[in-house]
Amino acid sequence: MQNSILTICYIIASVTFILGLKMLSHPATARRGNLIAAGGMLLAVLGTIFLYHDEAGNALHNYGWIFGGILIGAVVGVLAAKKVKMTAMPEMVSLFNGMGGACAMLISIVEFNHLMHAVPEKWTIYPPLSALGKSGAPFHIPIGELLIIVLGLIIGTISFTGSIIAWGKLNGRIKDFSFRGQHIFNILLLLIIVGLSVWLVCSSAEPVRFLLTVIFYSILLLSVVYGIFFVLPIGGADMPVVISLLNSFTGVAAACGGFLYNNKAMLTGGILVGAAGTLLTILMCKAMNRSLLNVLIGSFGGSAQSGTAATQGAYKEISISDAAVVMNYANKVFIVPGYGLAVAQAQHACHELEKILTDKGVDVKYAIHPVAGRMPGHMNVLLAEADVPYEQLLEMEQANEEFSTTDVVLVLGANDVVNPAAKTDPSSPIYGMPILDVQLAKTVIVNKRSMKPGYAGIENDLFFQPKTSMLFGDAKKVLQELIAEIKML
């Protein structure tokens, strides 16, 4: 009876996951959708703790350890989420994603050890799939279970180590690293992992338990190495794609755990995360006009430099007062947010500037590039925190249709996503990447701290065009000064 109630709890939780994911598609319902999905997860966790019984009728025990772990995790998670700055949100997402991969990895290790403890010293993992167990009774080797354990181990480990490296690169603790032939090394390493896994699951020999254990932990160690070298050479401009891809890995690893335990909620959640992460990865690659393979082996965004840097001319600056006049008397203004806006924590000042201009009759909109910032949707989250109306956020395709009729474009900390070299310079590493065509506007004002290249390490041709003016300084301070000047006009 209790297991039947637990199954109902899992079904309800699965429905809340699907409903919550659907509601996350719009900012107006995203918060409620997140709470609904969290409520479903809470129901699944509590149901498992209090209602689960194994085949022998035994319930869970060690409640002190269980609730102690939950309490510690809850306190750490709440404090971390409360204190994190918007600039560090990509690192937190990557770190939390890595914890999911670590969980799947540990589940595989624990279940493999259980499996090894249950079988004799010498056993067969090939049809007829039976051997004598410790009790002398026939033991049927669960090849399907072993396959899921190995898959969860590989995918979870790669997700964990890759996410930790991504976290380190995003916060500057780990630098880009590559060596000659690294991609070949990665491919060979992956082939060895796959080969060992196939041998472990499908060998026709009768290996001893010790050898199988050595092979299993060799796969674990090689997966750790692969996860590290898989992410290390990938440059900053591709980190949003990497985070999305690793997120899908974690989902697939969690789904393996759902198969392993026949847990409907875990399976549904893993499939949703894996599918959503995969689709997002595909969409972001499309937004960059590159294949996923090109992202993974291209090392784009590391130390690449544009080939046109030597031929660029001088740039011109604009004062705060002149910028205020130009924006105050414009009919249409576009704001292009970038990572510099997040660094300065200037989203609220940006929203205030938008409201002041709107009150003066200026049509103000935001142009959002799919890979702006350090994670998928970074700019959307940033502006949502400042209560910017969702209707004012235009995707790249919509914004590009309106730039030709725009009087002023204010670029706040964005760099690579507005670089015309993506269309004009075949030697540029970003050539072919869709960008925001801000150069079509009548006037472009770019706010940056300095003339240093962006995160991709590429010079921006836009800064040297005649219609572009540079407004140097911290984004928050510049916006506050602009607001003060416009109020006096």
Which residue, among 315, 355, 331, 336, has the nearest Cα to 410 in the 3D structure? 336
User: Residue 241's pLDDT is what?
Assistant: 82
User: Residue 116's pLDDT is what?
Assistant: 78
Instruction: Give residue-wise pLDDT tens across range 410-423.
Output: 999 888 889 888 88
Which residue, among 453, 391, 387, has the nearest Cα to 418 in the 3D structure? 453
- Mean of the pLDDT values across residues 357-378? 86
User: Residue 309's pLDDT is what?
Assistant: 43
Looking at the annotation, which residues are catalytic?
416
Decide if 47 contacts 58 (C-beta within 8 A): no
Confidence of residue 454 (pLDDT cuts 50, 70, 90): low
Whether the per-residue pLDDT at 428 is higher than 80: the answer is: no
User: Residue 119's pLDDT is what?
Assistant: 61
User: Residue 320's pLDDT is what?
Assistant: 93
Architecture of domain 309-488: 3-Layer(aba) Sandwich (3.40)
User: Residue 303's pLDDT is what?
Assistant: 42
Distance CA 188, CA 296 (A): 15
Confidence of residue 153 (pLDDT cuts 50, 70, 90): very high
Whether the per-residue pLDDT at 466 is higher than 80: the answer is: yes
Distance CA 465, CA 325 (A): 21
Reduced to 3 states (helix: H, G, I; strand: E, B; else coil), residue 411 is strand
Distance CA 480, CA 391 (A): 24
The angle, 0 to 180 degrees and rounded to 10, between the axes of the packed helices 143-170 and 182-202 is 160
Give the contacts of 13 (CB within 8 A, at least 6 positions apart): 40, 41, 43, 44, 47, 264, 265, 268
Decide if 100 contacts 116 (C-beta within 8 A): no
The residues spanned by each domain of the chain are: 1-83, 86-298, 309-488
Confidence of residue 236 (pLDDT cuts 50, 70, 90): low
Among 94-98, 202-206, 212-216, 365-369, the minimum mean pLDDT is found in 202-206
Distance CA 434, CA 449 (A): 25
Decide if 327 contacts 482 (C-beta within 8 A): yes
Q: What is the pTM of this model?
A: 0.79
